Every structure is written in structure tokens, then in C-alpha cells.
Amino acid sequence: MFTRTCLFFIMLKLQQWLTETSDLGIFFGIMWRRTKRNITRSEQDLISTMEKYRLNSHAGEIQKNNYLRINNTNISANEAAKLIKERFEL
């Protein structure tokens, strides 16, 4: 079973393929089936994506006024939304 992190990286890779592919028919007709069958390549793509990208910023890494770093591990979606609304005065 996939974790949320794994699914996120799979979606990132899918989005990358969609962006790089000018003809969506080629993507859905050829590239998807080929990579879906090649488990080794799929695993390597996932591993390289995980090494290259990360989901979380480091504390203090982004110094922008319109940025809010939220650790939502132990809070509900409503609580996270409340923090966002308060921070950006929505």
C-alpha cells in the first residue's frame, strides 16, 4: 500500500510527464504503458524524485511575507485552515 508521500511523488512524476509531453495521446498511449510495465524504472524514477525534491521546507528556510509553514501532522484540516485564515486575514 502506498503512503501519502509516495502517492504525492507519483503525482509529481505524472505532472512532469504531462508537462514535457506535447502530445497527450503519446503520453497516454505509449509512455504510460511502457513505464507502468517497467517496475524497475518506475522504482528508480520514484527514488530519484524523492532524492531531488522534498515536501517540506526547513524551519526558517523561506523568508517571504506571504508564506506560512504549518506542521499539520497532529492537527485537523479545519485547524490548518483556521491558521491560514488568521495569518492571511481571510
Tens digit of pLDDT for each residue in 77-88? 999 999 999 989
Q: How far apart are CA 12 and CA 71, in angstroms?
A: 21
Choice among 6-10, 55-59, 72-76 with the minimum mean pLDDT:
6-10
Which grid coordinates are listed for 62?
Answer: 523561506
- Per cent of the chain over pLDDT 90 is 14
Could you tell me the three cell numbers for 49? Answer: 524524485
1 or 76, higher pLDDT: 76
Rounded Cα distance, 45 and 48, in Å:
5
What's the one-letter identity of residue 56?
A: N
Buried-exposed string 22-58: b where 16+ CB fall within 10 A, e elsewhere: eeeeeeeeeeeeeeeeeeeeeeebeeeeeeeeeeeee
Quick one: pLDDT at residue 74?
A: 92
